[in-house]
């Protein structure tokens, strides 16, 4: 009998502060961004680079900061009319953006600094590891205040897995989660990927998520 054909429905992505899971891996970033900017502090910084592994919560934190400050996500370096619409801005994935558009990015950075706007840049890597050829851009990026979101600890990975299964309305016993966590890469991306695989195949094969099914996914689908 052929397997059921299904349409994959993406779970709703919540970017609220109550939905963000705080742990030792990200608490420094959370504490900083929830209290910044403090416009009564004349010596405060205006730009932050938030860096950490993929799927570690950088985008979520940026959305929380956006809700607090009405910041604007800049999604094009070639259309900077957005720069007059707010005094807070966010640019994601600068480790990918800068190597391809150094001069345009330098122009953006100079504009943000000149107007004394507040801004967050995100990256998977620390500023010192971003490939930059323009000396002016390199010096400015590497002089910026930066905050690391560290690799996740076990409580965070477990909480994330529970959250992702819940978003997909999958009921799963904690013993299955414990079984999975000791058998996958210890990263937020790996947690997301295994949950997506289990969701996809449990739906297609109409199977409950048990340890036996988790074992099957780990040994046949990865």
pLDDT at 93: 96
pLDDT given for residue 2 in this prediction: 41
Lowest-confidence range among 10-24, 27-41, 118-132? 10-24
Q: What is the tens place of the pLDDT at every residue in 98-125?
A: 999 999 999 999 999 999 999 999 999 9
DSSP 81: G
pLDDT for 74-95, tens place per residue? 987 766 666 777 899 999 999 9
For the chain, domain boundaries: 27-148, 154-220
Query: Is residue 46 within 8 Å of 87, Cβ to Cβ?
Result: no
Q: What is the pLDDT of residues 207-220, one digit of tens each?
A: 899 999 999 999 98
Q: Are 27-148 and 154-220 in the same CATH fold?
A: no
What is residue 152's DSSP assignment?
P
Nearest in space to 142 (alpha carbons), one of 36, 49, 52, 53: 49
124, two tokens: 């998977």
User: Would you say residue 64 has pLDDT above 70?
Assistant: yes
pTM: 0.81
Written out in words, the top-level CATH class of the domain with range 154-220 is mainly alpha
Distance CA 167, CA 137 (A): 41
Asked if 71 and 65 touch (Cβ cutoff 8 Å), the reply is yes
DSSP code at position 82: G
**Helix or strand run (H / E) with residue 128:** none
Q: What is the fold, at CATH topology level, of the domain defined by 27-148?
A: Rossmann fold (3.40.50)
CA gap 100, 132 in Å, rounded: 10
Contact 32, 48 (CB under 8 A): yes
Pull the structure tokens for residue 68: 């607090």
């Amino acid at each position: 009998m052929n397997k059921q054909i299904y349409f994959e429905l993406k779970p709703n992505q919540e970017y609220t502060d109550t939905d963000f899971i705080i742990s030792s891996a990200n608490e420094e970033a959370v504490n900083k961004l929830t209290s910044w900017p403090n416009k009564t502090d004349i010596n405060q910084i205006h730009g932050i680079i938030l860096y950490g592994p993929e799927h570690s919560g950088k985008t979520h934190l940026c959305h929380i900061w956006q809700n607090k400050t009405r910041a604007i996500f800049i999604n094009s370096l070639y259309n900077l009319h957005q720069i007059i619409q707010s005094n807070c801005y966010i640019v994601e994935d600068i480790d990918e953006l800068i190597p391809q558009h150094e001069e345009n990015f330098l122009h953006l950075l100079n504009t943000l600094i000149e107007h004394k706007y507040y801004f967050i840049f995100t990256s998977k890597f620390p500023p010192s590891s971003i490939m930059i050829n323009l000396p002016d851009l390199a010096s400015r990026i590497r002089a910026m205040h930066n905050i690391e979101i560290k690799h996740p600890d076990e409580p965070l990975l477990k909480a994330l897995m529970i959250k992702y299964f819940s978003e997909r309305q999958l009921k799963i016993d904690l013993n299955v989660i414990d079984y999975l966590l000791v058998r996958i890469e210890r990263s937020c991306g790996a947690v997301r990927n295994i949950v997506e695989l289990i969701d996809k195949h449990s739906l297609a094969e109409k199977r409950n998520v048990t340890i036996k099914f988790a074992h099957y996914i780990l040994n046949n689908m990865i």
